[in-house]
Structure 1
Amino acid sequence: MNDKVVGSDKGFSGMFLFQQVVDDCGLSDLGYSGLRLTWNNKREGKSNIQEMLDRFLTNDQ
């Protein structure tokens, strides 16, 4: 399940580094309830972009 529909992807190297920090800190995603895609650019058709913008990370402490 993707967190984005249409539009350009974030740079792979930046996301890889972010994932390393998340892993190094022992963080995990709390998940969500409700709508998965929480933002859209209010355009129609192929110009429409939808994304999940809000994330919550936690650790065991």
Structure 2
Amino acid sequence: MPESSERGRPVPDGSHTPAVPLIAYGTDSGEAVVSAPEVPLPYPLAAIILEVAPCRPRP
């Protein structure tokens, strides 16, 4: 049983596995990998994007 002063110590190196990225951004051949299918935006989200789009004043 560890003493109370040892409970907050960091884990020693080598005792945990390194994080692995879940999304592949490319392959060795240089081709892009599709990580998610293209899905149309839901209407409320599309409306928000249109609302904040920059508008140029007419001359």
TM-score, structure 2 as length reference: 0.20
Higher strand content, 1 or 2 = 1
Higher helix content, 1 or 2 = 1
TM-score, structure 1 as length reference: 0.20
